[in-house]
Structure 1
């Protein structure tokens, strides 16, 4: 007997328990060795040997344990199984009914103090939420009044219309030569509109609707530029040639009016040099034409 759990009791001669015990002792095996072979708890094997089927978990376990015991000690397990079932059917050894009851684990249940604290926190959160909502409603009604003043300011500011944008200058652009001057006029796509030497008094009108008209000219001071008949500031002072200068009505309007002419007392007398081209002008024009091209 193991663990001191089973009382000493001799098996009934010729019973299943007596047969199993006799076979074990004939092979010189201990209950521990049979338990190792069958992997059945030793106290259940002891109950089988003492015919204490009431100590086994159920009839199914009783039959299974007895067959495993018989197989381990070398006797007919089928015959042992039938004998166990016959004894159970006769009720000579009623089995004890094992009721498995779930034991509540106190460590899993929250303590009373923890429950009280959790309930208090939940109540506090609920109260704070109600207070926040109520104060938010009052705050919303009180903040509506100050908003009236900014709205009045916005209304007053809207009464003053913004200044109307200055319309883009549009009009007829005319280039008039004061002296022999070579120039090249083209649009934003580099399509040539005019190229050549203009004679004094000769004019060229930029076609209306030209996209970003531009000019290359060797002596910009020798050109008079007008927009809708009004003269604008010169394109250059004549000290150097200019290239890729915009001559649209908008660009020319942005240049402003020409500088006022000097008074008659300071105007030098006209000479041939002032009204005619210098001898070297033709060479300069030819050189600039080659560079511009």
Structure 2
């Protein structure tokens, strides 16, 4: 744009304006003239300044009621004027003058938040709520312990055998001493109730499992849990002694996307509570044993889920 066009644009501003709307209209005409002199469209300015099209239209039409409050509107105006390479210092000075100020109170709205940040905040709040809910549920479950009652029945003991411990010797006659019983006629052995052993099947199985595990070498595995495609909250427990429920808490963590946690454990069976399990990937000793979307049959939330390394494909 040459100097003659610049002077023509600047001379379009009147020296004395009678109302704020006339001033805004004059500013808009000046912006339109400068843009058209450059041979550009509004879309080119949008791409450069990252403002909405409605803001450019409001500035050029003089209808500032479509803009935020004056402090933001003047900021947009300065950016647009700088982009078009025109001087509007005089007009801005008039807008700041009391005669042309807005009569409504000045408010400062929150700056616009991009959708990605908004969803990130919502996701963070959601995982915090899940964390609180799982803690409440977990604390309630821990109050109930499994009690195994072993009922023993004494069978095969007749009424007459209960007093087998008492021996009654018959009266001897002189002839009895001559007729001693043969060795083949030995008295039958009677087991008393105190001699019957009651076997606790579950305790025996547990003892056998412990004995078998002691005979085998202990292998320590490296578990790596990754938040592969999104944020993941989880609790990881060892199995109890019987392997039928969760035991000690190993790890409780909230991972953002791309983060991971690692721990070493000899147990090949873990119990997992997890939010957003679809984004979780599990590696054991450097090998992927459970990829994203496969845990729990594709469920998003897992509660008391048993992960058995021996049953992984």
What TM-score, normalized by structure 1, do the two folds share?
0.31
| Pair member with larger Rg | 1
Higher strand share: 2
What TM-score, normalized by structure 2, do the two folds share?
0.29
